[in-house]
Amino acid sequence: MGVSAVNDFRGPRGFRSLVPSDAWAALVQQGVRSTHHARERVLHQGQAGGWVLLCLSGRLKVVYSEPDGRELALAVRGPGDVIGEFSGRDGGPRSATVQAIEPGITYRLPDERFGELLQRFDLGSKLDAYILGKVRESSAHSWQLAHRTASARLADFLAALIDVAGPDHPCPATIAMSQEELASGLGLARSAVTPVLAEWKAAGLVRISRGKLHVTDVTSLRACSEANVSSSGQNTAR
């Protein structure tokens, strides 16, 4: 049952799901195609903006970095997402780094051209809704950092990665990240993540190989997170 949940119909997502097909096609056609490798950085925190990326394939993580090298994953993105649009709105530098989790394809559009196309297809309100969705997501993420256990945060992160894979991904439940990368992205020590994964492996929820993890029971993984939400809420109420 858990594995089959991954194979259910997966339609367009992200900004792509909010706009007509011809508008999305026009945005892509006006961009410059670029391929990226796993772990390649496609946007750099602190650098000037000036352009946006349209993601066509491959999953990416949005990471905030400190000067000492510590990192925290703020969100995950995938096919259908627009990346880097915040800088185009306020003219500020990139607020985070975006790094590829796996090989993929993006199309690069200058902010000015992106704005022209939004106006031509009357997509301004759609982009506003999309950005507000990201803001709401960041609020929930902040709460999770403060109140959720390592197990629940890991379950949420893996579920989010599966959800953003897009309709054409051949293996959405396979995550090309090592245990060290998963822990680092969550702002945790590897020692906090390893026993959780060992428990899930023993229960048949995941398979682990070098630099890679495969979720074999997505339904049960989501249940782990939801059960933790309930217990967290009860503890807070007391």
Confidence at residue 118, expressed as pLDDT on a 0 to 100 scale: 96
Give the C-alpha distances (Å, rounded to integers) separating 187 from 66, 124, 145.
Answer: 12, 35, 9
C-alpha distances (whole Å) from 169 to each of 61, 78, 102 are 16, 10, 11
Cα 101 to Cα 33, 40, 41, 107, 116: the distances in Å are 18, 8, 9, 17, 31
pLDDT at residue 40, as a whole number: 96
Pair of tokens at residue 83: 């990346």
The span from the CA of 41 to the CA of 39, in Å, is: 6
User: In the chain, what are the domains?
Assistant: 13-143 (2.60.120.10), 147-237 (1.10.10.10)
Give pLDDT, residue 137. Answer: 87
Q: How far apart are CA 113 and CA 103, in angstroms?
A: 26
What pTM did the predictor assign? 0.87
In tens digits, the chain (238 residues) has pLDDT values of 344 444 455 789 999 999 999 999 999 999 999 999 999 999 999 999 899 999 999 999 999 988 888 889 999 999 999 999 987 777 788 999 999 999 999 999 999 999 999 999 999 999 999 999 999 988 888 787 777 899 999 999 999 999 999 999 999 999 999 999 999 989 899 999 999 999 999 999 999 999 999 999 999 988 877 665 544 444 433 3
| Adjacent-strand bridge partners of 61 | 76, 99
